[in-house]
Every structure is written in structure tokens, then in C-alpha cells.
Amino acid sequence: MKKNLCVIFGGESPEHDISQKSVTSVLRNLNKDKYNIYTLGITRDGRWLLYTGDWEKIEPGDWEKDAENLKTAFISPDSSHHGMIVCGKSPELIHIDVIFPVLHGEYGEDGTVQGLFELSHIPYVGMGVLSSANGMDKTYSKLIFAAEGIPQADWIVISKGDDMDRRIEEIETRLGYPCFVKPARLGSSVGIGKAHNRAELTAALKNAEKYDRRILVEEHIDGHEVECAVLGNFDAKAATVGEIKPTVEYYDFDAKYNDNSTVLVIPAELPEATTEKIREYSVRAFRAIDGQGLARVDFFVKRSDGEIILNEINTLPGFTSISMYPKLWDAVGLGYEALLDRLIELAEERVK
């Protein structure tokens, strides 16, 4: 029998548009013979809508205008329901076997919506509440990885209300220029800036403040940007390693999603020992935050001496047609459709 699969997309995060890109790729690659697929979209203002129209309208955002194919719906927190309630004159309860949240950023990747899934007792793809929260917040994940003994770039955390002049002096003394400025709890390079001087640092901090009350400032690492994909629960395994070669100064939002000139090299052109160490670090980082399901772990490999530096972990990485996570698994023989099947299996395994 087919499983009832609820695929959730959109969300209130600044990464809403990326979710729409990712979910379109996911929907195209899901095996329609295995799943009855329900698409549950979340608008930027937080409305939950069951969408029954053409999936090709999702990526450009036109699904929200398709009124005849929209109904208010939500995952019920009542575990006896084990499903989705569709509102209307006669509310309908649809049993859901597995939830696949294709959500990025705030309210989708940070443990909040995972808490709802836990209450519902419905298996779901991806990490749990605490691992999602720690993975999303770069300031906390850095503390966890430091305790695990994985090398990282030096960093400073800036909080709302800090004496900014004093903190800027601290950044200049300890980290120097250039340095990177990141909102603590966003992905897809949203709100990230690279500062070469005080004026650029001040501007980057003000920009990051728009997205989060806590900001991470990191030292610049002159290195190859590489990524590794992890898959599994308690038996997590790492795929091969890929290198990103952007044609811009750093791998920003446009380079990730809009600039086709960025080159992905899979497998990365690294010594075998370096590749294996990155794979080892990836699994260690995954386990350190109690990972389940999937993650993409990002690193720098220093050009000067080949030292491996952990950058960050992504608990719900992009699934667009050009995203590194599915490409890394495809390179080792696990195609997109089979990868999605495996993620759904892992969701169910966690509750057995």
C-alpha cells in the first residue's frame, strides 16, 4: 500500500524562496508509486495551506494565488489524530504516515516545527528538536564542536545591546581583517557579509542585526571550500567530499542559488587522507549534536598547510537541482529518488 506522505514547504524564514526551490526538486523525484503526496505550504505570514494544484507553481510562488486549490490545514498536535486536519464546512482528518519538512531556517530547521511533529507522534524526516536547535544556532554548535575537539576558525559572538564600539575593537584585535559576519540562526548565506575594514564591518553587523539578535563573527580562512554529506541515524555514514569554486569573492546567496558560473567539483581534488579525515569529522560533528537523518557539513581546507577547519553543519540542506547534498550521494551511487526513499525509511526507523 502507498504511504501517505506530507511534504511541508515555504515557511516564515527569509529562506522561504529556497524552500520553494528545494521542494519542487523533491516533488519531481519522489516515487509516485510509493506515496500519496500531500503538499502543505506555509506562507511568509504563517498561514498553513493544503495545496492540491500544479507543483510547478510552487517554485515561482504562484501556488499561493491558486485559490481553488488551497484549503487551510495543519498537522494536529493531538497524537490520537496522527495526521493533518483540513478545515472547511466539514473538517477532514487525513492520516499521515510520514512528514517530510522541506523547510530551511527559522521555524523550519531550528527545532520549533520539529516540536509539533513530536507532539503529533508522526515520523518525520530530519533531526529532532534539540539537534535541530543546536545545529541551527551557529554559536551553540561551535561550542559543541569545540568540546568534540574538531578544529574551527576563531570566533566572537555579538549580542543585541552590546557596546558595539568596544566589540568592534575586540574583533579587530583578535580576528583582524578580513572577517565574516553571520546571523547566528540563518542559512543559505542570508545576511552574511565579508568585512575588509571597519566601515564594512559596521555595515555588515547592522545588516546581520536585521535577521538575528545574536551575530557570529569569524576569522577569515584562506582555504578550499568543501562539503560532505551525512546520512543515517545511529549508523550514520558520510558520502564523498565536494569542493565549491565560486567565481565571486565568497559563496554568497546569489552564488548558491542564482549564479550558474559556480563550479562544483565532485569528488574534491584533495589528497585521499584529507578526504577521509573530512568524512570522519563530518560523522563526528553529526553525532556530537545527536544527529538523525541527514546533514551537510561544511569545511575549509587551508591552502597554506592543508589543515581542515570545520565551518558549520546544515541540518536540512538545500535540495534544489544544483544543491550539493543530493549530488554528493549521487556521486557514490545513491540517486535522488533512492535518497528520498532512504530518508523516509530513516524517519520511520527512529520511532520503531
Q: What are 87-118's pLDDT values in tens digits?
A: 988 999 999 999 999 999 889 999 999 999 99
- Span 317-341, pLDDT tens digits: 999 888 999 999 999 999 999 999 9
Model pTM? 0.91
The total of other beta-carbon atoms located within 10 Å of residue 262's CB is 17
CB 7 within 8 A of CB 41: no
- Span 14-52, pLDDT tens digits: 899 999 999 999 999 999 999 999 999 999 999 999 999
| Domains located in the chain, CATH noted | 3-124 (3.40.50.20), 135-150+221-349 (3.30.470.20), 155-219 (3.30.1490.20)
Instruction: Flag the least confident range among 12-16, 166-170, 306-310.
Output: 12-16
Residue 254 in this model has a pLDDT that exceeds 70: no
Mean pLDDT confidence for 226-250: 90
**Which pLDDT belongs to residue 251?**
47
Quote the Cα angle for 109-115-117, to 5°: 95
First to last CA, the chain: 19
**Which pLDDT belongs to residue 160?**
87
C-alpha cell at 280: 570522519
